[in-house]
Amino acid sequence: SESRSFTTDWLHQNHELYTAATNHTFIASIRDGTIDVINFKHWMEQDYHFVREFVRFVASVLLKVPRDSPEQDADVILGGLTALESEISWFRKEANFWQIFLEKVTPLESNKEYCEFLKELEGTETPYPVAVVAFWMIELVYNASFMSCLEEGSKTPFELLSTVKRWGSLEFHQYVHSLQQLADKALENVSEAELKKAHEVCVRILELEIKFWDMATIQT
């Protein structure tokens, strides 16, 4: 089983919120095969916009990696950034298949709110430990959510497998684990105030992720 760390403690302390974020009705509908493709298209439209902003956030995390940390630490973040480049190409290709015109999409309120929060985290006021915790949590929600759609007995529709495998793969799971290790290492020597801030950021991300999934299912 997992050893104790700040990140695992926070996941346990926010178990209900974490479950709400990773087992949302949108995800449940993919898993049980009842999803309406219109909802899926809504999600994809909004997520492309989010990912474009997310690239900037990840770049800001890379800039904050302390110079005296091992080179591998910066390389983990750099790997995330390069993966986002292929993710953007994937979005374009997938959008084409679903007949989505990405450049015509208007970001909805919850998406704008999330992107505003990312911008806050990008600033120099947010120190590296808080920023890397945020990066980990953002990726964890997608990994845990989409992994559940690949579990035995899930009825994920064939056309959605490309999406589900992108974030639900073992490879991505391992990547998220390496982010968690970076986060816990960064939290080792921070002040109580910074720890509190990092925990609050985790909670806020879970709330924003729930609202993000809501956009796919609530809009008509």
Catalytic residues: 209
Q: What does the alpha-carbon distance between residue 142 and residue 98 come to, in Å, rounded to a whole number?
A: 21
Smallest distance from ligand HMH to CB 139, Å:
5
Smallest distance from ligand HMH to CB 192, Å:
28
Smallest distance from ligand HMH to CB 86, Å:
12
Q: What does the alpha-carbon distance between residue 176 and residue 167 come to, in Å, rounded to a whole number?
A: 10
Q: What does the alpha-carbon distance between residue 70 and residue 85 come to, in Å, rounded to a whole number?
A: 24
Per the listing, tokens 């953002």 go with 138
Smallest distance from ligand HMH to CB 13, Å:
21
**Which CB, 35 or 215, lies closer to ligand HMH?**
215
Q: What does the alpha-carbon distance between residue 183 and residue 2 come to, in Å, rounded to a whole number?
A: 15
Q: What does the alpha-carbon distance between residue 162 and residue 38 come to, in Å, rounded to a whole number?
A: 17
Binding site for ligand HMH (CB under 6 A): 47, 50-51, 138-139, 141-142, 209, 212
**Which CB, 138 or 187, lies closer to ligand HMH?**
138
Closest CA to 165 of 136, 135, 142: 142
Q: What does the alpha-carbon distance between residue 66 and residue 42 come to, in Å, rounded to a whole number?
A: 38
**Which CB, 45 or 194, lies closer to ligand HMH?**
45
**Which CB, 40 or 50, lies closer to ligand HMH?**
50
